[in-house]
């Protein structure tokens, strides 16, 4: 079991699970509700940083880092704090941006939100240690299982899997609920939804908050697993890649979100990473990765614009007794 290949695959599984969390969250805010959340990766970062600074002890001269809080909270509190902080930050951004803006302007405001947040985190060193970012964040339950850096991945897989399964159930319930139906109506035509009494602002805010919470949990899982986070991990292109994954997999369908995570995070990103390095061109593989994602989007949009696993039509069946009652009532009214 303890071979390099097993370690590699286990590591890959963790990244896949974390990416599932990201795509499932974006599926709620963008896939179901139509909010063009171009700041999405910011909420992942908020979750990561908050989880990091509550899991770390107070910043000292020895740690050579400066950051806020430093609460030394035990697991799972950092994970919860990361998700909650990102959700609340998402609600705040949504409250300010969605109240008066149409979706295209909202998208621009959200890009600006990412830019402000990224520059703030990079340059305000006292917040999350600037461009160096947070390091040496304690890994949850590592000491309980006497895990070393090579075996820790096997401790973390169940943690990530439990989170993903739990939040898959949440996403699935939302998708199948009257709440999810109202979100899809708002995505289709917010004015008509309002004309039918839907509190569109409130519902969109709830969706945005929920999506951001998923992103925050993904960020918290990331920092708790690798123990570090810095601004290079949440460049704006990362938001584009999560969007790509959802569009390829199928928006509005939680299974599509998971498939998108598999196709883009594992097949494309990991696949291009396996290509041999070209001497004297160290950045070529990164560029190839982005080209491959772009080509995949073009192919999917051309041949299957709804994604590989499109939104499913839900059928509502009536029990025979009720169906009979409907038939009789329809006959009477005719």
For another protein, the binding residues (CB under 8 A) are 170, 173-174, 177-182, 184-185, 187-189, 191-200, 202-203, 206-207, 209-210, 252, 311, 313-316, 318, 322-323, 325-327, 329-330, 333-334
Give the whole-angstrom CA distance, residue 124 versus residue 122.
Answer: 6
Q: How many CB atoms lie within 10 A of CB 241?
A: 20
Integer Rg of the chain from CA: 22
* Nearest distance, CB of residue 216 and another protein, angstroms: 16
* Nearest distance, CB of residue 263 and another protein, angstroms: 22
CA 104 → CA 35, 187, 230, distances in Å?
Answer: 9, 13, 29
* Nearest distance, CB of residue 299 and another protein, angstroms: 22
For another protein, the closer of residues 94 and 231 by Cβ is: 94
Residues in Cβ contact with 127 at an 8 Å cutoff, skipping those fewer than 6 apart: 49, 67, 68, 120, 121
**Token pair recorded at residue 192:** 């008509």
Provide φ and ψ at 180, rounded to 5°: -60, -40
For another protein, the closer of residues 130 and 310 by Cβ is: 310
* Nearest distance, CB of residue 19 and another protein, angstroms: 23
**Token pair recorded at residue 152:** 């820790």
For another protein, the closer of residues 1 and 330 by Cβ is: 330
Residue with tokens 């609920």: 177
For another protein, the closer of residues 33 and 222 by Cβ is: 33
Find the helix or strand (DSSP H, E) in which 218 lies: helix 200-226
* Nearest distance, CB of residue 197 and another protein, angstroms: 4
Q: How far, rounded to the nearest angstrom, does the alpha carbon of residue 227 sit from its chain's CA centroid? A: 19
For another protein, the closer of residues 175 and 238 by Cβ is: 175
Give the whole-angstrom CA distance, residue 296 versus residue 101.
Answer: 32
* Nearest distance, CB of residue 207 and another protein, angstroms: 8
For another protein, the closer of residues 274 and 334 by Cβ is: 334
* Nearest distance, CB of residue 57 and another protein, angstroms: 35
Give the whole-angstrom CA distance, residue 104 versus residue 35.
Answer: 9
Give the whole-angstrom CA distance, residue 84 versus residue 191.
Answer: 30
Give the whole-angstrom CA distance, residue 203 versus residue 73.
Answer: 33
For another protein, the closer of residues 104 and 332 by Cβ is: 332
For another protein, the closer of residues 303 and 316 by Cβ is: 316
Cβ pair 26, 258 in contact under 8 A? no
* Nearest distance, CB of residue 109 and another protein, angstroms: 22
């Amino acid at each position: 079991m303890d071979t390099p290949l097993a370690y590699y695959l286990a590591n890959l599984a963790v990244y896949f699970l974390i990416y599932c969390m990201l795509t499932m969250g974006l599926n709620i805010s963008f896939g179901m509700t139509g909010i063009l959340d171009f700041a999405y990766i910011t909420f992942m970062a908020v979750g990561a940083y908050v989880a990091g600074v509550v899991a770390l002890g107070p910043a000292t001269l020895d740690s050579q880092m400066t950051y806020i809080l430093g609460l030394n909270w035990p697991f799972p509190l950092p994970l919860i704090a990361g998700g909650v902080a990102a959700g609340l930050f998402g609600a705040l951004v949504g409250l300010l941006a969605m109240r008066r803006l149409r979706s295209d302007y909202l998208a621009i405001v959200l890009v600006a939100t990412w830019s402000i947040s990224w520059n703030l985190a990079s340059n305000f060193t006292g917040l999350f240690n600037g461009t160096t970012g947070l390091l040496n964040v304690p890994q949850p339950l590592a000491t309980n299982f006497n895990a070393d850096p090579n075996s820790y991945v096997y401790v973390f897989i169940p943690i990530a899997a439990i989170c993903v399964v739990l939040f898959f159930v949440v996403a699935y319930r939302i998708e199948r609920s009257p709440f999810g139906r109202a979100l899809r109506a708002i995505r289709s035509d917010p004015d008509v939804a309002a004309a039918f009494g839907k509190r569109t602002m409130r519902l969109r805010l709830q969706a945005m908050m929920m999506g951001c919470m998923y992103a925050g949990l993904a960020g918290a899982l990331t920092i708790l697993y690798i123990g570090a986070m810095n601004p290079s991990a949440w460049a704006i292109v990362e938001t584009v890649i999560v969007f790509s994954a959802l569009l390829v997999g199928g928006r509005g369908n939680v299974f599509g979100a998971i498939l998108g995570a598999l196709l883009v995070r594992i097949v494309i990103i990991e696949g291009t990473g396996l290509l041999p390095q070209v001497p004297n061109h160290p950045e070529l593989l990164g560029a190839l990765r982005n080209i491959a994602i772009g080509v995949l989007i073009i192919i999917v949009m051309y041949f299957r614009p709804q994604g590989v696993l499109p939104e499913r039509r839900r059928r509502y069946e009536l029990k025979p007794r009720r169906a009979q009652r409907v038939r009789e009532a329809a006959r009477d009214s005719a």
